[in-house]
């Protein structure tokens, strides 16, 4: 198994089972549009997660509507990072470059409206996001970032609000909340973001893929699951199909190729091994704690009176001895109310940097996730309305007492492979020849490297790369921030000026946002 910065391997054949894949699409399961792999294609998309799905969606609804688009997926559809994430979609407004923050807000609104307009059954719930800071240094940095937005980018500043620990703090009329009301009474402070959502990401992507199969059946969209690409070769100059993709089922030649491979990108393009590094994340689906009056640790059934959370959460801390805490939580809708809690990389071997296998969990991380959610998060009821109807007063007991730490039960525990970008931004665009591409018109593109933050970035990044590949996409306009554009100059500056992913991990949370430090 790889450790540190380095080249990714192939997706694991016996991956851990995530919560999101417990209800697989019967249409997409082991789907192959044609029994045999086509010999040629106009466009091959490698990867069927949110990037690959939306890239195909934009391709077939724009300049490639009459082209032959073939999607190759190593495992089942959407079984990679998108099918294994934490179920969040939340722009990082105050800690991003302003242009990137605007782009993420655009992407969030695009997805929100797409889900609403098409009644996509993916459990989208719009929320506010609460970022709770356990250490003063990082909270102070976040506050300075918000103050900078207020001075220079007031429209972005309207998206966030600082909540200080003072009980008598005067807040805006829209918020009227303190740390206790946000369920983080003991933290150093919090940042509340107005644009956030929880969702079932697999079901969003499968809606897109199922729609493509229905709309373009026999009209140029071909999905081939369980077909990993084992090698990518550039053909001789002047070839009509300049790229050859090898699989265990044969080879396919393509005019253009899009690698929507995120953490696995360096497996096919080794030149990216120091730019997009695989990092293993771990997530647990936890059953909410026992209601007051029950014995601590007594197992509850999945339908038994879970507390209702009104926000999604990020729990942030800097570790002075290296590494950081950057955990994340959403709650599934009731009646189940499972707590999807991810993070804990500080407990992983080598911070899980360079890990590209998702076929096992690390028990040290699993114990952390089961035992380190409450506290700092207060999961006891604050009002009767926060319990499902049917829990009577005697069962509810008294609230407001100190919360004893309880290890929660997990119904699912899984891992997934993220692609961490060395300069913290996704890489979107044409691959230059010195990185394994084929020159200016060589036909190889990537859209990858989201650093665990792909849900509010990937969809419109995919749209942007589709426009680079062949022409404008009508409808929702988008300008890709220069920070995300793949260029030779960006590669050079990143390698010369930016620490490796391993070095950043050792330095802690603040090292993840160098532009923020420079800005404030």
Pair 155, 62 in one domain: no
DSSP 8-state secondary structure symbol assigned to residue 197: E
391 sits in the region (left: phi over 0; alpha: psi -120 to 50; else beta) called: beta
Report pLDDT for 116. Answer: 98
Pair 387, 265 in one domain: no
Report pLDDT for 508. Answer: 72
Residues 430, 424: Cα–Cα separation, whole Å: 19
Name the stretches of the chain with pLDDT < 50.
1-4, 173-176, 295-304, 383-403
Read off the tokens for 471: 């022409």
In a domain, 166, yes or no: yes
Read off the tokens for 201: 């990401």
CB atoms within 10 A of CB 294: 15
Q: How many domains does the chain have?
A: 2
Measured CA to CA in angstroms, residue 283 lies from 249, 393, 512 at distances of: 33, 34, 21
Residues 261, 113: Cα–Cα separation, whole Å: 26
**Contact criterion met (CB below 8 Å) for 130 and 192:** yes
Length of the chain: 520
DSSP 8-state secondary structure symbol assigned to residue 203: H
Pair 53, 168 in one domain: no
CB-facing half-sphere around the CA of 221: CA atoms within 13 A? 23
Element (H, E) at 221: strand 221-224
Report pLDDT for 407. Answer: 86
Pair 336, 408 in one domain: yes
Residues 358, 13: Cα–Cα separation, whole Å: 9
R_g (Cα) of the chain, nearest Å:
23
Report pLDDT for 400. Answer: 32
In a domain, 50, yes or no: yes
Q: For 423-466, write each residue's pLDDT tens digit.
A: 999 999 999 999 999 866 689 999 999 999 999 999 999 999 99
Name every residue whose Cβ is closer than 8 Å to that of residue 344 and which is 6 or more positions away in sequence: 282, 327, 365, 368, 369, 372
Report pLDDT for 384. Answer: 40
The domain boundary residue, chosen from 394, 418, 442: 418
Report pLDDT for 54. Answer: 98
Looking at the DSSP bridge assignments, the partners of residue 129 are 193, 312
Closest by Cα among 492, 426, 429, 495 to 464: 429
The domain boundary residue, chosen from 395, 418, 441: 418
Enumerate the H helices of 307-377 as residue ranges.
363-371
**Contact criterion met (CB below 8 Å) for 358 and 84:** yes
Pair 67, 179 in one domain: no
Pair 265, 154 in one domain: no
In a domain, 101, yes or no: no
Give residue 151's domain range: 123-199+279-418
In a domain, 265, yes or no: yes
In a domain, 441, yes or no: yes
Pair 334, 363 in one domain: yes
Name every residue whose Cβ is closer than 8 Å to that of residue 387 and which is 6 or more positions away in sequence: 291, 305, 306, 307, 308, 381, 396
Pair 259, 139 in one domain: no
Q: Read off φ and ψ for residue 7, nearest 5 degrees.
A: -80, 140
Measured CA to CA in angstroms, residue 515 lies from 98, 281, 520 at distances of: 10, 24, 9
Report pLDDT for 292. Answer: 57
Report pLDDT for 88. Answer: 95
Residues 186, 189: Cα–Cα separation, whole Å: 8
Question: How far from the centroid of its chain's Cα atoms is residue 248's Cα?
Answer: 29
Report pLDDT for 295. Answer: 46
Pair 49, 157 in one domain: no
- For residue 471, give the CATH number of its domain: 3.50.50.60
Pair 262, 344 in one domain: no
Name every residue whose Cβ is closer than 8 Å to that of residue 246 and which is 6 or more positions away in sequence: 229, 230, 231, 232, 233
Report pLDDT for 303. Answer: 42
Pair 289, 412 in one domain: yes
Averaged confidence pLDDT in the chain: 87
Q: For 370-417, write each residue's pLDDT tens digit.
A: 999 988 888 875 544 443 332 233 332 333 333 455 789 999 999 999
In a domain, 491, yes or no: no
**Contact criterion met (CB below 8 Å) for 159 and 153:** no
């Amino acid at each position: 198994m790889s450790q540190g910065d380095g080249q990714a391997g192939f997706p694991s054949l016996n991956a851990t089972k995530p919560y999101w894949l417990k209800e697989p699409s019967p249409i997409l399961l082991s789907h192959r549009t044609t029994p045999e792999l086509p010999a040629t294609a106009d466009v091959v998309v490698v990867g069927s997660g949110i990037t690959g799905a939306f890239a195909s969606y934009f391709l077939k609804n724009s300049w490639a509507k009459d082209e032959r688009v073939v999607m190759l997926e190593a495992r089942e559809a959407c079984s990679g990072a998108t099918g294994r994430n934490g179920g969040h979609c939340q722009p990082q407004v105050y800690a991003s470059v302003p242009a990137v923050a605007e782009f993420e807000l655009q992407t969030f609104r695009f997805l929100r409206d797409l889900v609403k307009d098409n009644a996509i059954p993916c459990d989208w719930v719009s929320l506010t996001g609460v970022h709770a800071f356990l250490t003063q240094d990082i909270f102070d940095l976040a506050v300075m970032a918000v103050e900078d937005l207020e001075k220079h980018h007031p429209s972005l500043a309207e998206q966030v609000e600082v909540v200080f620990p003072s009980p008598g703090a005067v807040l805006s009329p829209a918020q009227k909340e303190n740390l206790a009301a946000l369920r983080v009474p003991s933290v150093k402070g919090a940042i509340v973001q107005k644009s956030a959502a929880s969702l079932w990401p697999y079901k969003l992507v499968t809606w897109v893929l199922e729609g493509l199969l229905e709309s373009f059946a026999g009209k140029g969209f071909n999905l081939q699951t369980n077909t990993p690409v084992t090698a990518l070769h550039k053909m001789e100059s002047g070839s009509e199909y300049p790229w050859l993709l090898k699989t265990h089922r044969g080879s396919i030649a393509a005019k253009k190729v899009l690698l929507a491979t995120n953490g696995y990108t360096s497996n096919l393009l080794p030149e990216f091994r120091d730019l997009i590094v695989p990092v293993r994340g771990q997530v647990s689906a936890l059953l909410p704690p026992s209601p007051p009056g029950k014995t601590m640790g007594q197992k509850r059934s999945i339908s038994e009176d879970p507390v209702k959370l009104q926000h999604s959460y990020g729990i942030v801390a800097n570790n002075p001895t290296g590494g950081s805490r950057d955990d994340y939580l959403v709650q599934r809708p009731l009646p189940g109310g499972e707590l999807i809690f991810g993070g804990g990389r500080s407990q992983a071997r080598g911070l899980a940097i360079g890990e590209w296998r998702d076929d096992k969990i690390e028990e040290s991380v699993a114990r952390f996730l089961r035992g380190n959610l409450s506290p700092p998060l207060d999961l006891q009821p604050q009002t009767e309305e926060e319990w499902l109807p049917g829990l009577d007063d005697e069962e509810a007991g008294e609230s407001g007492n100190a919360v004893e730490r309880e290890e929660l039960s997990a119904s699912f525990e899984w891992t997934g492979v993220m692609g961490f970008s060395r300069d913290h931004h996704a890489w979107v665009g044409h691959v230059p020849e010195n990185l394994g591409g084929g020159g200016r018109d060589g036909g190889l593109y990537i859209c990858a490297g989201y650093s665990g933050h792909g849900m509010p970035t990937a969809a419109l990044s995919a749209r942007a790369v589709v426009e680079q590949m062949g022409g404008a996409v009508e409808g929702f306009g988008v300008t890709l921030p220069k920070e995300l554009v793949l260029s030779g100059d960006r590669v050079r500056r990143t390698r010369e000026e930016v620490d490796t992913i391993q070095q950043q991990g050792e330095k802690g949370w603040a090292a993840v946002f160098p532009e923020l430090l420079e800005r404030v």
